[in-house]
Copies of this chain bind each other. A is one copy, B any other.
Amino acid sequence: MHLKVDLIPRGPYQGVVIVVDVLRATTTTPLLFEKGLRELFITASLRAAREYAAQGNHLLLGERDGLPPEGFNYGASPADLAKFDFTDKTAVMTTQNGPKTLPIVASAHTVLFGSFYNAQAVSDAALEIALQNNLEEIAIVCAGQEGLEGLDDTLTAGFLAKRIERNFNAKNIGKLEHQHASQLAVHLLRAFPDPQEALVLSAPGQLLQKLNLHEDIAFSSLISQTNAVPVLREVIPWQPSNIYRFENLNR
């Protein structure tokens, strides 16, 4: 089996994909499922989000430039969303950066969302799914920022890659081959014993600080706080941008 890390999305992917957009989409989404959310519909388009939420009576949450757009029920701040209960609710979410990755990864066997917040659960799930289905590849795909590598996602990818490697090696079933930027990401970890330092330095971290959302950086640095793992279940054709339906794998 091989373990691939892509610092920016580079599809196509065939095996298990873990999408990483640690500040904040893939931290926020496991949190929402942890708080009881039943279904999450993600789209890149503000218009698609508004229309789909209206026709299905879903909650509407997300951000543009870090802040909740007009008429939204919630933003995308995990520190804020953690205060609410979403039991059996459904929501539509649109964020500026993360959803752009979805068309590139959607054809993979399984698409999960991962971050520090669900690190243990998503790493365990990715390896289990790959082994059960005889898949050759686990790919950790960083959303990045407008086509550029980010310190925040790269470090998170390294953290998840290292856990997956450790789990794999414990099983004594062969050798896990590192591909693409997997080595780079894993070694970057040695430079950041405290992941929060990297999140603070990263471009999205700098933006959040300017918006007085530094609590979100602290929140996104918490490790393995939930066993919720967002998994892509369906792509719903929509204009101008498809809707991606997620559930909690470990519900």
Interface residues of A (CB under 8 A from B): 7, 148-151, 154, 180-181, 183-184, 187-192, 198, 201-202
Which B residues are in CB contact (< 8 Å) with A181?
Answer: 148-149, 151
Complex contact A183–B151 (CB within 8 A)? yes
Which of B151, B183, B189, B190 interacts with A184 by CB under 8 Å? B151
A197 → B minimal CB distance (Å):
9
Could you tell me if B149 and A149 are in contact, using CB atoms closer than 8 angstroms?
yes
Q: Which residue of B lies closest to A182 (CB)?
A: B151
Task: Report the Cα distance A192→B198, complex, angstroms.
Answer: 17
Q: Which residues of B contact A201 (CB under 8 A)?
A: 183, 187
9 nearest interchain CB pairs?
A: A190-B191, A191-B191, A187-B191, A151-B184, A149-B181, A151-B183, A148-B180, A188-B188, A183-B201
Count chain B CB atoms within 10 A of each CB in A180, A184, A201 and give the residue with the most: A184
* Closest residue on chain B to residue A147 by CB atoms: B10
28 A-B interface contacts by CB (under 8 A): A7-B7, A7-B149, A148-B180, A148-B181, A149-B149, A149-B180, A149-B181, A149-B184, A150-B184, A151-B181, A151-B183, A151-B184, A151-B187, A154-B184, A183-B201, A183-B202, A184-B188, A187-B188, A187-B191, A187-B192, A187-B198, A187-B201, A188-B188, A188-B191, A189-B191, A190-B190, A190-B191, A191-B191
Using CB atoms, name the residue of chain B closest to A181.
Answer: B149
Cα A183 to Cα B150 with chains together (Å): 9
CB-defined contacts of A183 to chain B, threshold 8 Å? 151, 201-202
For A192, list chain B residues within 8 Å (CB).
187
CB neighbours of A148 from chain B (8 A): 180-181
Chain B residues near A188 (CB-CB < 8 A): 184, 187-188, 191
Bound-state Cα–Cα, A7 to B151, Å: 12
CB-CB < 8 A to A154: which residues of B? 184
Q: How far is the CA of A181 from the CA of B153 in the complex (A)?
A: 12
Chain B residues whose C-beta falls within 8 Å of the C-beta of A189 in the assembled complex: 191
Q: Which residue of B lies closest to A148 (CB)?
A: B180
A221 to chain B, nearest CB (A): 16
Task: State A190–B154 Cα separation when bound (angstroms).
Answer: 15
- Determine how close the nearest CB of chain B comes to the CB of A189; give it in whole angstroms: 7
Bound Cα distance A148, B181 (Å): 8
